[in-house]
Amino acid sequence: MTREEQLLFCRKCLNRTTDMKQGLICNLTKEKATFQNECPDFKLDETVKEIQSDNEEGLNADAIKQLLSPEIIDRLKMEQKLASGIVSGLIVGIAGAILWGAITVLTEYQIGYMALAIGAGVGFTIRKFGNGIDKIFGYWGAGISLFSILLGNFLSIIGFIANAEGLGYIETLFLFDYSYLPEVMKETFSPIDLLFYGIAMYEGYSFSFRKITEKTVTELKEMNR
């Protein structure tokens, strides 16, 4: 374990004390922490636990695997729901794409920041309904985010064509020659889109995982004792 990972426990232990030279140390050994995975002398300070918030920043996958035992990791994986996460993410992504396309046609201006909202929305939805910790959840989050953004662009193009030709939206969907789609998408592409696409995909990936905080780690360890 790294020093920072050990401090996750030390900051909440009754045996902690502060040394002017070494920083936070163990009051029993008068040394910095040297334990791996779990400290046999750890005693939870209830006052620290009470002020912890669920709004803490979530730990990354590598930190979670180092802080939790294989048994707890396996239990968390059993609670994963990949299918639910994918379906719910697609629903939110498609809804966001339709909304973005409609706003773009109505305002005749593409609001790039909506791509970021779609990415975040997809990610948080997969987190809520997928409850996942495996990387596959992040991959789906990024993929659905990109698909939704491209779909939003396509729908706005169809909307502009429908208005220009005086046709209905559904009618235009059926009459459109899809062999020209790559060319049309290319013509409407702007270099700045890469930035929005990249950020949206990053949000879709990073927000798709179950949020495991320091508080969660402590609670899971207590439940497993």
pLDDT in tens, 15-31: 888 776 777 789 999 88
User: Taking a C-beta distance cutoff of 8 angstroms, is the pair 134, 80 a contact?
Assistant: yes
Give the end-to-end CA distance of the chain in Å, rounded to a whole number.
20
Distance CA 49, CA 51 (A): 6
The tokens for 9 are 């426990």
Distance CA 187, CA 193 (A): 12
Better-scored residue on pLDDT, 50 or 96? 96
Give pLDDT, residue 222: 62
Mean pLDDT for the stretch of residues 180-192: 85
Q: Give the tens place of pLDDT for each residue, 162-171.
A: 999 899 999 9
Distance CA 205, CA 119 (A): 8
Most confident of 6-10, 56-60, 96-100: 96-100
Model confidence at 111: pLDDT above 60: yes
Give pLDDT, residue 59: 67
* Amino acid identity for residue 206 in this structure: S
Q: Which helix (H) or strand (E) holds 25?
A: strand 23-26
Give pLDDT, residue 52: 47
For Cα atoms 97, 188, 123, give the angle at the middle one, nearest 5 degrees: 30
